[in-house]
Amino acid sequence: MTKLRAWVSAARLRTLPLSISGILTASAVAISEENFNLTICILAIITTLGFQILSNFANDYGDGVKGTDNADRVGPMRAMQSGILKAKDLKIGMIVTGALTLLIATILIFSAFGNENFLLSFIFFNLGIAAIIAAVTYTVGKKAYGYRGMGDLFVFLFFGLLGVMGCYFLFSKSLGDLIVLPAIVIGLLSAAVLNLNNMRDRLSDAKVNKNTLAVVLGGVRVKHYHTSLIIGGFSIASLYLLLKAETIFEFIPLLAFIPLFLNIIKVYKNDSPTLLDPELKKVALSTFLFSILFLITVSL
């Protein structure tokens, strides 16, 4: 593996579609309400991708220096684990990515609020700082929250509530009436992706005291939790569409839950952590598919 490929590996490109699902979902609602702005959408996507890549670099670094990424790990080999990228390399990568992302976020905030709404600009700038801190401290530091079973909560908040509702607010300058429902859907499905990742790594994480929620719940209860996330997402999505849809066509996004229901069956039958790795991509892409179908059906 070359150093360039190691950086690409550390960026974890397969996680990026999931990260923009919230932006697409918020954009769909904004389009339906005639509040959409293409410039804000593009800047929001770039900002979100920056936060995700920063989080991936920090995850690689944090797990690497703590020794979590070792021979017992089930998933693909990490860049630092392979020895191609050193801790210093990833630190620099985190600093550069964080700075560039904050710059784009600042441009995004100015594009949305201009000079007229200093208070809103101040609030959103601080939310950007909070997102950077959350991205880094998931695995970095002595009090990394990913090691204390809080990763799922932060993913729900930042991918779901903040990602969808925050982006929608940038478009409309309000929180609307039901935007919280699709925000919850994306948050629950994003948490399901993280939970599946933690289920895969549960045994190796337990050995190094990385107490993810999967480790805390144990092998049986974590499967029940995983099911509740997906069923919860389906229920909230159905409720939103029942309240908002005017034609049967607008229920098409629910088709994205078919592979998610199949995933539930595979998770319950699974006894091998290795076999959970391919399921990660399926859940992430199904979430992305939901946002795409939601965008298409609402826009037409």
Is residue 5 situated within a structural domain? no
Both tokens of 45, joined, read 């996507």
| C-alpha dihedral, 54 to 160 to 19 to 53, nearest 10° | 0
Is residue 1 situated within a structural domain? no
Is residue 241 situated within a structural domain? yes
* Predicted confidence (pLDDT) per residue in 49-64, tens digit: 999 999 998 888 888 7
Residue 66 pLDDT > 90, yes or no? no
Range of the domain at 86: 14-299
Give the separation between CA 230 and CA 189, rounded to whole angstroms.
Answer: 6
Is residue 3 situated within a structural domain? no
- Do residues 221 and 227 lie in contact, with contact meaning Cβ atoms separated by under 8 Å? no
Give the separation between CA 173 and CA 187, rounded to whole angstroms.
Answer: 21
Helix (H, G, I), strand (E, B) or coil at 27: helix
Residue 72 pLDDT > 80, yes or no? no
- Do residues 65 and 85 lie in contact, with contact meaning Cβ atoms separated by under 8 Å? no
Is residue 2 situated within a structural domain? no
Residue 71 pLDDT > 60, yes or no? no
Is residue 68 situated within a structural domain? yes
Is residue 114 situated within a structural domain? yes
Is residue 253 situated within a structural domain? yes
Number of domains forming the structure of the chain: 1
* Predicted confidence (pLDDT) per residue in 153-195, tens digit: 999 999 999 999 999 999 999 988 899 999 999 999 999 999 9
- Residue 300 confidence class, pLDDT cut points 50, 70, 90: confident
Cα distances (Å, whole numbers) of residue 193 to 93, 159, 243, 248: 25, 11, 27, 29
- Give the chain's mean pLDDT: 90
Residue 219 pLDDT > 90, yes or no? no
3-state secondary structure 223-277: HHHHHHHHHHHHHHHHHHHHHHCCCHHHHHHHHHHHHHHHHHHHHHHCCCHHHHH
